[in-house]
Amino acid sequence: MSNVLALIEISHRGGIAASARGLLAAAATLGSPVAVVVSSAPLADDDVARLGELGAARIYSAVTAAAGTVLVAPAVDALSGAVDAYEPVAVLTANSVDGREAAARLAVRVGGSVLADVVQVRSDNGTVVAQHSVFGGAYTVESVVEGGLPVLTIRQGAIEGQAPAATADLETVSLEARAEGAAVIDQFNDDVAVSVRPELRTAATVVSGGRGLGSSENFVLVEQLADTLGAAIGASRAAVDAGYIAQTAQVGQTGVSVSPQLYIALGISGAIQHRAGMQTAKTIVAINKDEDAPIFDVADFGIVGDIFTVVPKLIEAVKARSN
Amino acid sequence: MKIVVLVKQVPDTAEERKLGLATGQLDRASTDNVVDEINERALEAALRIKDANKGTEVVAMTMGPDDATQSLRKALSMGADSGVHIVDDSLNGADAGRTAATLAAALRSTGFDVVMAGNESTDGRAGVVPAMVAEHLQLPLLGSLISAEITGDGVHGVRQGEGGTLNVRAGLPAILTVTERFPEARFPNFKGILTAKRKPVTTLSVGELDVQAGASRSVVVSTVERPPRAAGRKLIDDGTAANELAEFLVANRLV
Ligand SMILES: Cc1cc2nc3c(=O)[nH]c(=O)nc-3n(C[C@H](O)[C@H](O)[C@H](O)COP(=O)(O)OP(=O)(O)OC[C@H]3O[C@@H](n4cnc5c(N)ncnc54)[C@H](O)[C@@H]3O)c2cc1C
Ligand SMILES: Nc1ncnc2c1ncn2[C@@H]1O[C@H](COP(=O)(O)O)[C@@H](O)[C@H]1O
């Protein structure tokens, strides 16, 4: 079977990134998954076992002192080494900050093309076909690469399911630590709050707050409803700009795209750029005191009312019904 | 110091953007075309350096159809010193790879100490062109910065990563991309609009650049439009709406 490379990101603390599952699942639908991993120390047995569970038939483990100190370049070097070794039909990376830079550089280096922000993949008689969700889900587009290696960046959280588990063959190579032509990492600053809430990109329910919350203290209301529903927290750009919540929670055109079962918008007007990140949700609920707010145009259930009176009652009513 | 800002003309995100169903290409006629907001932020960052150091030269560069000159004029009216417009019929429908190869060749001939770009464009959302340009030019890329400090000998920046931020740096020349955490751009003032008309814009065709066509390209094979969403129930809260919503959520097995 043809090989398909998947760049697996490892956090600077050593953990396998959450994107690994979807990448290996997508790789398995196209061929035999080869996990490409860059680290400063040889992979632990646990990591090898975990990648096998997630479907990796092989692991190309590149060990280099540059991992964690040189930005992205080690991943590109590892990928191009793995391309030579495995002659893959496609290379997959996460559509993450690091993943897409690695994909872009690799495509130039090996003479391939990038298919970006892919939400689904399939093989059509051996041709790799990528599906994209364009303009906030208004269009579904399929694309292919003609005359070169397809390098796909896979939207995080978009691929469901898991590849069949395998016992991964491990190949370890040592990679020269090169820093020329690359940026240097001086320090990692972890996000402070490690949340117990579900991850925004894959959550079944998302509760988002907008400028209507009025202050970061009031944003607690969003958190309370989210915790009642076991939901992830999202936000509009205005709420992020006002400092109510971290930028990583931004949903929309220039933020995260989500397609949950249920999306609840609190105090969000529903500007077209916000809708671009959530209008593919299965069910949309909106609470806004302006009855002309455009969010109501896409809401399955809208309440024209004050979030500060409706949401506390909603929390009580949901709690009462789930007891 | 010479800073080149890569600006892309995109359909205005405030309008309904359309793809041609037969071609899969952007329907440029259906919306107004504007400078991508993220590129205005990149230009703002460059202009702030120029404000503080008079010797700084800021060049706005774009690859795009004839009317992309409007985007360059906007950049000039905000304060850029000159513009470079790469325009050629053969670039129609160029993919990211072709775009990057062409921009890299133009950057080589224009010369620069720093290139500033957006982390991703609002039309393609690919976020790959700057890294491809960096690879062509064998230069460091400081991508997805939330802040940056540029001095004569290098760039220090804070990069937004997946689980936190990173402090990163590189010597010059270097390429950096900015995120929305960078400050909003200034508005052109009256003097800026007047002087923009006199500032030079160089037009380059593919024949004038040292760039190969490239054997590999990405092509769209199908485009399907999703039916628009219909509005559902809308209640005016009279004190009972929260209960009705809870009923709705339970009935639809959403809680
Ligand atoms: C290039 C570009 C990219 C962008 N990307 C994004 C993006 O990714 N995500 C995004 O969200 N935006 C994005 N925007 C911004 C977008 O245009 C809007 O400005 C933004 O979404 C507005 O956020 P909001 O709805 O919270 O604020 P507002 O538009 O100010 O709406 C606040 C709403 O709260 C309601 N409200 C106030 N008080 C209450 C109350 N007590 N009870 C109930 N309702 C109340 C008001 O009626 C109002 O409708 C982008 C813009 C541009 C130009
Ligand atoms: N045609 C273009 N002309 C000038 N700059 C561009 C062009 N395409 C992309 N860029 C730059 O690359 C950034 C990222 O674009 P993209 O990779 O298309 O998401 C943009 O914000 C621009 O700064």
Provide the sign of the torsion angle of the four alpha carbons A64, A68, A74, A78, taken in this order: positive
Residues of A whose CB is below 8 A from B144: 97
- The count of C-alpha atoms lying within 13 angstroms of the C-alpha of A26, restricted to the half-sphere facing its C-beta, is 33
Range scoring the smallest mean pLDDT among A44-58, A219-233, A295-309, B8-22: B8-22
Statement: the pTM of the whole predicted model exceeds 0.90: yes
Question: In this structure, are strands A169-174 and A58-63 parallel, antiparallel, or unpaired?
Answer: parallel
Q: How many other C-beta atoms are found inside a 10 Å radius of the C-beta of residue A282?
A: 13
Q: What are phi and psi of B32, to 5 degrees?
A: -70, 145
Nearest residue by C-alpha to atom 43 in ligand 1:
A288
Q: Which of residues 116-175 of B touch A (CB under 8 A)?
A: 120, 122, 124-132, 134-136, 138-144, 146, 158-170, 174
pLDDT digit string, tens, across residues A135-157: 999 999 999 999 999 999 999 99
Residues 6+ apart with CB under 8 A from B23: B93, B220, B223
pLDDT digit string, tens, across residues B119-133: 999 998 999 999 999
Question: In this structure, are strands B141-151 and B174-178 parallel, antiparallel, or unpaired?
Answer: parallel
- Of B100, B143, B162, which is closest to A101 when you measure between CB atoms? B143
Cβ(B211) to ligand 2 under 6 A?
Answer: no
Residues of A whose CB is below 8 A from B255: 229, 318, 321-322
Range scoring the smallest mean pLDDT among A66-75, B9-18, B20-29, B221-230: B20-29
CB contact under 8 Å between A321 and B19, yes or no, is no
Q: Give the residue carrying structure tokens 């006199």.
A: B198
Average pLDDT over residues A190-202: 82
* Token representation of residue B18: 């359309």
Task: Indicate the pLDDT class of residue B167, thresholds 50, 70 and 90.
Answer: very high
% of chain B exceeding 90 in pLDDT:
89
CA B102–ligand 1 middle distance (angstroms) = 37
Cβ(A8)–Cβ(A16) below 8 Å: yes
Question: How confident is the prediction for chain A on average, in pLDDT?
Answer: 96
Nearest CA in chain A to B248: A301
Task: Indicate the pLDDT class of residue B24, thresholds 50, 70 and 90.
Answer: confident
A192 has pLDDT over 80: no
Judged by DSSP in three states, A7 sits in strand
pLDDT digit string, tens, across residues A43-65: 999 999 999 999 999 999 999 99
Residues of B whose CB is below 8 A from A309: 237
Nearest residue by C-alpha to atom 7 in ligand 1:
A252
- Ligand 1 atom closest to Cα of residue A287: 43
CA A165–ligand 1 middle distance (angstroms) = 44
pLDDT digit string, tens, across residues B231-253: 999 999 999 999 999 999 999 99
**Beta-bridge partners for A266:** A209, A287
pLDDT of the residue at A193: 64
Q: CA B30, CA B19: separation in Å to the nearest integer?
A: 9
* Token representation of residue B232: 């559902």
CB contact under 8 Å between B237 and A306, yes or no, is yes
Nearest residue by C-alpha to atom 26 in ligand 1:
A210
Give exposure, B15-35, as e/b (b: 16+ Cβ within 10 Å): eebbbeeeebebebeebebbb
Task: Report which secondary-structure segment, H or E, holds A81.
Answer: helix A73-86
**Beta-bridge partners for A138:** none
pLDDT of the residue at A194: 60
CA B118–ligand 2 middle distance (angstroms) = 7
User: Of A222, A244, A254, which is best to mutate to test ligand 1, by the most ligand atoms within 8 angstroms of its C-beta?
Assistant: A254
Task: Indicate the pLDDT class of residue A212, thresholds 50, 70 and 90.
Answer: very high
Task: Report which secondary-structure segment, H or E, holds B176.
Answer: strand B174-178
A31 has pLDDT over 80: yes
Is the ipTM beyond the 0.95 threshold? yes
User: Where do the DSSP E strands lie in B43-96?
Assistant: 57-63, 82-86
Q: CA A221, CA A137: separation in Å to the nearest integer?
A: 29
Give how far the C-alpha of residue A122 lies from the chain's centroid of Cα atoms, to the nearest Å: 19
**Beta-bridge partners for A284:** A263
Cβ(B13) to ligand 1 under 6 A?
Answer: yes
pLDDT digit string, tens, across residues B186-232: 999 999 999 999 999 999 999 999 898 787 899 999 999 999 899 99
Find, among A43, A72, A26, the residue nearest to A181 by Cα.
A72
Judged by DSSP in three states, A137 sits in coil
CB contact under 8 Å between A143 and B219, yes or no, is yes
CA B146–ligand 1 middle distance (angstroms) = 21
pLDDT digit string, tens, across residues B51-83: 999 999 999 999 999 999 999 999 999 999 999
pLDDT digit string, tens, across residues B31-53: 999 999 999 999 999 999 999 99
A267 has pLDDT over 80: yes
